[in-house]
Structure 1
Amino acid sequence: MNTLPPDPDPTPPTPPTASQRVISAFERLTEAHRPELWSTLRAVEDVLVDAKAVDDRVQAGETLPLAGTVFAVPELVDVAGQPSGRSVPEASATLVARLTAAGAVVLGKTGCATVASAWDHAKTGGRGAAVAVALGIVDLALSTAGAVPAALNAVVALKPTRGLLPMTGVRSGDGISVYTTGLVAGRQALALMTGPDGVSSTRPWPEDVRLGAGEHPRIAYPRNLALSDAAALAFELVVKRLTATGAILEPVDEPAIDGFDALLVPTVPDHPELAEALADPAGVHHRLAAGTAFADRLDLASVTVPVLPGDRRPFGVTFLTRAFEDQIGLDLATVCTDEPMTPYPEPGEDVVVFGAHLRGQPLNAALTGLGARFTGPVRTTESYRMVLLDTEPPQPGVLDDGGHVLDGERWRLSPAAFEAFAATLARPFVLDRVELDDGTRPLAVRCDPAANGTGLDRYESWRGYVRFTSTAGLRGPG
């Protein structure tokens, strides 16, 4: 019988060019009709010139991670050729220059005035930057306003550890937050902006920075919360979602992070009317920011997210972490956004494990106790084999004289943690490189080629062998 050939796989859509994205931004700007969001808008012709330059660079083969991204900056951040107070700076702030070098295009500057929310014009939305992101006019915005406007407009706000971002060309002591619609986009922008520029003062990463909190992070949250009913329900939902993932949440009387991996707080207690915010801006701001205002004083990093993916309710939550533990906050916040997360660009070393150091196995605490971060499962090329070693607890040794694929896990540790972990490995275990099926060659826990052990050639993973022994009893593994 004749059969028709299967339909071909659908061709993925071509991402819009920078020029197309700029045209779309100006169309959204016209549709939204929110001129009060902006202190300065660049002429469409000038923005298109920048976008055309980005498209030309891409056509020439240059890799630009932010090609097609349109962004906004606050009044207190310099953009070359754009009015900044009473002057027109010749050079952009380092943060702006790094984003544009990566292919992003500046649309304009957002203002400091209190404006209506993106979704309810009778309610306050805080500053214009968060509203511009929520309405899809820009893909991301820099802001000096912090977490509150993000929550009021249901967008993501990332405020990194003080001193990670160079402040050259930034005339504000409040630090910089990044507003986006998702964690991945915000983390990417932060990664591109992070690092010294040789001009302004920055802080180096500690050698022993913790990159992860393990499978059961301990999270504190305020016990007595003066919240509206809607805000209380939203916060309770996040607490339940975190608990379901294995996190350990404990109420505390005073906001504190000592003894915990993170502090979870409702970003705002309620959503005031715009008229109230305009009549008493200082009072309303003090009330709305009470849950996060102490973060700068305690030198904390923060990640603010909506309660659920696509949620437009103005009652987001904020994860606060110790200085330089930004990655922990990013990872925890994914419970609200359902996004994959990639590492922040802190210094560190990757190590692959195959046996008792895997998640759920007896020696995993040797990694998590050092603040190691699980970055994903891995597979080797067909060059390896496992042998069962006479150790306590039982562990496999990995040799490179076989023809098998092995399953393992990749973990990332800070430099000091990596040295500490290496010191825990006793002979016959050694650190040596393995070749993975993605072409990389990270260090891995291997064993001395002279080590004696029973072959486990039947198994591609240590977990497979453990399941075998737990159901069939101890016997020759074959």
Structure 2
Amino acid sequence: MIVVQIPKRLSIEKLREMYADKECTPKEVITEIINRSQADTHMNIWITPPSMDIIQPYLDRLEKKNPLDAPLWGIPFAIKDNIDMAGIPTTVGCPEYAYIPETHATVVERLVEAGAIPIGKTNLDQFATGLVGVRSPYGETHNALRPELISGGSSSGSAVAVARGHAAFSLGTDTAGSGRVPASLNNIVGYKPSLGAWPVKGVVPACASLDCVTVFAQSMDDTLIVDQIARGFDENDQWSKSIHSPTPELPKKIYLPIEPIHFFGPYADAYKKAWESSIEKIKTMNIPIEYIDTQLFSEIAAILYDGPWIAERWSEIGPFIESHPPHTAFPITEKVLRLGSGSTYSAASVFEAMHKIQSARHQTKKRLEEAVLVMPTVGGTWMREQVREDPIETNSQMGYYTNHCNLLDLSAVALPSGFAEEDTPFGITFFARSDSESLICGLGDLYVNQISSSTKNNTLLVSVCGLHMRGYPLEKQMHEFGATFIREDVTAPNYQMIKLPTVPPKPGLIKRQNGGASIHVEIWEMPIEKLGELVASIPSPLGFGKIELQSGKEVSGFICEAFAASTSQDITELGSWHNLVVHGDR
């Protein structure tokens, strides 16, 4: 019996390859997704979780579609539960609000027509009001890497579903940063198109004038594949615009904040170091950099919640809250929304804010001509318990570098940028004008496509899994060879890890045709000219070859000859050399 190996991290490109090579079927992928979602039930990712009852009709439809004519044939995706999926309740994170739509939201319909499979509805901060992922009666969505940390909101479930391998991509929404913050905290890509580029028909409004549908995925390439399908004018959507799909281009200039970046929470110092490391990577891209005052963006960001724009949220949800018994809404959500219900803001204050925003848009449009602004995606993260204790201030700080985006009519992409601490991702965001999305796509591709950029810089990516990792005795050797730590990753799920009987013990990775597991590795970038020295230092039975990562991509790295398994301890179940150390063996 052949056991189908479904990658832990799902991607559009990898699934396309597997379908074309007859390695698996969409039904087998869906079966694995259902198993994963059931195993992660405690993480509160789903409101309507994947089930064969929901998904089978979409599998049946695939039989009538030619994969060559359906660019997303068999690709599973998740839907934030403020976006309509026909026949499935839309709750917006509030059971009493729920209704069952007869039709899909426009973006869902387009994806389904392209062959994609909607698998369920994900958890969110209620009424899409929050950036923390803990404001839901359906439970606090856990972070994909560290369950005690927040997952980010409001599109919490959508981001974690992708990060945990429940979907190849997912739909979120973004008003204040909800399509970017969860991406950063869960180490994935979050793409926010320009206002109106993707239709919002069938989306429950938060702030209708600012709302965007967004996509979460494992890579820039995947987000742009989805963009090609979802984008386009919808004559039945009053907010829809005709904005062409971006063709990746590089900007002529990169802007960075001239003032010190403020970081918050228990990981502020680690975030600061990760930001500094990100800047160093940006400097290697050979694009002119200029430092500018970003105070204007902070002033505009404050208008979203500390100004009259909060009244737009109340105008959308307030009538429901007022017509239902007390405490129908999540307490902190209602408290935030009611800020827009009283007499705090006059009609004159609304126009003052509109004029200030218009002036800022004019300045920003001139400033960002042929340029991209780079900022941290978030200013820190917190334990979920800490956010419960201080829900307003922590949420405000999460939006410090995001809230300005839609008010200024910018496009944005949030990208992983290493780790602040172990299993604590850090991310940066590229911003461009609404008519210059191509610039964030081109720059984003250059930043995250390490293999491509490494080749241009005469470097290559190297995978290490043992004593060459950070904090171990041979880390210094990596630095001596001019290597730079890039990120943590895991292998494809078909590797055996053994403990070689050497002094000191070393791990060996053996790729298996059957069995095995995903093994934790570190990815470093090393000058090609130093590779010979590294390879020459490797003792038998270790060697140097290609390591397949969970994403399906291959990098160079340490491998081991299979014969060594017979005289070594199998430690595959530990999943990481770190775990051997935890158990007292170093």
Q: What is the TM-score with the length of structure 1 in the denominator? A: 0.63
Counterparts of 1:183 and 1:176, CA distance in 2: 16
- Is residue 170 from structure 1 mapped to residue 203 from structure 2 by the alignment? yes
Counterparts of 2:72 and 2:119, CA distance in 1: 14
- Give 2:242's match in structure 1, choosing from 201, 204, 211: 204
- Give 1:218's match in structure 2, choosing from 240, 254, 263: 254
In structure 2, the partner of 1:293 is: 403
User: 1:325: how far off?
Assistant: 1.2
- Is residue 44 from structure 1 mapped to residue 52 from structure 2 by the alignment? yes
Q: Is the 8 A contact 2:106 2:201 kept in 1?
A: yes
In structure 2, the partner of 1:68 is: 74
- Is residue 112 from structure 1 mapped to residue 124 from structure 2 by the alignment? yes
Counterparts of 1:306 and 1:61, CA distance in 2: 31
- Is residue 245 from structure 1 mapped to residue 274 from structure 2 by the alignment? no
Which residue identity does 1:319 align to in structure 2? F
Q: Is the 8 A contact 2:232 2:244 kept in 1?
A: no
CA 1:339 to 1:92, structure 2 compared with 1: closer, same or farther past 3 Å? farther
Counterparts of 1:106 and 1:64, CA distance in 2: 15
Counterparts of 2:23 and 2:116, CA distance in 1: 14
User: Structure 1, residues 271-330: CA drift from partner, whole Å, max 9, x if none?
Assistant: 211101233333222101111111111111100010159x95422000010012111101
In structure 1, the partner of 2:434 is: 323
In structure 2, the partner of 1:303 is: 413
Q: Is the 8 A contact 1:151 1:305 kept in 2?
A: yes
In structure 2, the partner of 1:190 is: 227
- Is residue 86 from structure 1 mapped to residue 110 from structure 2 by the alignment? no
Counterparts of 1:210 and 1:91, CA distance in 2: 31
Q: Is the 8 A contact 1:99 1:193 kept in 2?
A: yes
List runs of 5+ in structure 1 lacking aligned partners: 1-10, 342-478
Q: Is the 8 A contact 1:22 1:51 kept in 2?
A: no
CA 1:336 to 1:234, structure 2 compared with 1: closer, same or farther past 3 Å? farther
User: Structure 1, residues 235-273: CA drift from partner, whole Å, max 9, x if none?
Assistant: 222222222121122222225654340110001121211
- Give 1:57's match in structure 2, choosing from 61, 64, 70: 64
* Partner secondary structure for residue 79 of structure 1: coil
- Give 1:282's match in structure 2, choosing from 377, 381, 392: 392
Equivalences for 1:131-170 in 2 at 5 Å? 131-144=160-173, 145-170=178-203
Q: Is the 8 A contact 1:262 1:319 kept in 2?
A: yes
Q: Is the 8 A contact 1:304 1:317 kept in 2?
A: yes
User: 1:206: how far off?
Assistant: 8.5
Q: Is the 8 A contact 2:254 2:374 kept in 1?
A: no
Which residue identity does 1:182 align to in structure 2? S
Identity of matched residues, %: 24
Counterparts of 2:144 and 2:418, CA distance in 1: 17
- Is residue 26 from structure 1 mapped to residue 34 from structure 2 by the alignment? yes
Counterparts of 2:81 and 2:397, CA distance in 1: 24
Counterparts of 2:451 and 2:114, CA distance in 1: 22
User: 1:169: how far off?
Assistant: 0.6
Counterparts of 2:201 and 2:411, CA distance in 1: 20
Cα RMSD of the aligned pairs, angstroms, is 2.7
* Partner secondary structure for residue 47 of structure 1: helix
User: 1:15: how far off?
Assistant: 5.3
In structure 2, the partner of 1:234 is: 274
* Partner secondary structure for residue 379 of structure 2: coil
Deviates more, 1:221-230 or 1:102-111: 221-230
CA 1:42 to 1:186, structure 2 compared with 1: closer, same or farther past 3 Å? same
In structure 1, the partner of 2:476 is: none
Q: Is the 8 A contact 1:66 1:103 kept in 2?
A: yes
CA 1:278 to 1:221, structure 2 compared with 1: closer, same or farther past 3 Å? same
* Partner secondary structure for residue 163 of structure 1: coil
* Partner secondary structure for residue 290 of structure 1: coil
Counterparts of 1:27 and 1:206, CA distance in 2: 39
List runs of 5+ in structure 2 lacking aligned partners: 1-17, 91-96, 126-133, 135-140, 298-363, 453-586
Greater Rg by CA: 1
In structure 1, the partner of 2:443 is: 332
CA 1:69 to 1:211, structure 2 compared with 1: closer, same or farther past 3 Å? closer
CA 1:339 to 1:99, structure 2 compared with 1: closer, same or farther past 3 Å? farther
* Partner secondary structure for residue 124 of structure 1: coil
Counterparts of 1:212 and 1:259, CA distance in 2: 18
User: 1:52: how far off?
Assistant: 3.3
User: 1:45: how far off?
Assistant: 2.8
Q: Is the 8 A contact 2:159 2:182 kept in 1?
A: yes
User: Structure 1, residues 325-348: CA drift from partner, whole Å, max 9, x if none?
Assistant: 11110111123321799xxxxxxx
User: 1:39: how far off?
Assistant: 1.6
Q: What is the TM-score with the length of structure 2 in the denominator? A: 0.52
Equivalences for 1:439-450 in 2 at 5 Å? none
Deviates more, 1:263-272 or 1:39-48: 39-48
Counterparts of 2:247 and 2:99, CA distance in 1: 43
* Partner secondary structure for residue 295 of structure 1: helix
Write out the 4+ residue segments of structure 1 that deviate beyond 6 Å after TM superposition.
none
User: 1:42: how far off?
Assistant: 4.7
In structure 1, the partner of 2:25 is: 17
Counterparts of 1:303 and 1:81, CA distance in 2: 32
**Higher normalized helix content (fraction of residues):** 2
